[in-house]
Amino acid sequence: MPSGSRDPLVVGRVIGDVLDPFECSIPMRVSYNNRDVSNGCEFKPSQVVNQPRINIGGDDLRNFYTLIAVDPDAPSPSDPNLREYLHWLVTDIPATTGPSFGHEVVTYESPRPMMGIHRLVFVLFRQLGRETVYAPGWRQNFNTREFAELYNLGLPVAAVYFNIQRESGSGGRRLYH
């Protein structure tokens, strides 16, 4: 998909805030309770308590992937001073499988935004080999670009994101009189 203005990753500012422009080259399906994640869709915190089911495409089991899930809007979209917050990191995932076949180096932490509408971004990178990616020391102020550079992961091969806000949140901004 070209990185034009119609690309939902561009429209949703995932390209720019988290990632550089890239071409999706591996299919990745993310779902919570049998509901697929599509770019820009909405979930409530109660729907994402447990880690999602993820299916990674490809055709060569000798290829390994790293999955990263981040929130670039922590603690609030108007002041994202913890950008990016790392929610999940799984390495050594063989092609054609999913995270349960990989090595979970940072356990899944369900998003619980307190203020505003947040994006949760799932990014997939192809690794150069097995056991070549290691855990960062913290979750807050994680940087997907720097992490990819540190481990020579190159550009992503797939990404998808959804929007999430407080359980009682109602879309859009509130007006106070």
Which of 173, 175, 153 has its CA nearest to residue 68? 153
Task: Write the CATH number of the domain with boundaries 6-163.
Answer: 3.90.280.10
Kindly list the domain boundaries of the chain, sorted by start residue. Answer: 6-163
- pTM for the full predicted model: 0.91
Each residue's pLDDT, cut to its tens digit, for the chain (177 residues) gives: 444 468 999 999 999 999 999 999 999 999 999 999 999 999 999 999 999 999 999 889 899 999 999 999 999 999 999 999 999 999 999 999 999 999 999 999 999 999 999 999 999 999 998 988 999 999 999 999 999 999 999 999 999 999 999 988 665 544 343
pLDDT of residue 61: 87
Phi/psi class of residue 48: alpha, beta or left (left: φ > 0; alpha: ψ in -120 to 50)?
A: alpha
DSSP state at residue 19: B
pLDDT of residue 125: 98
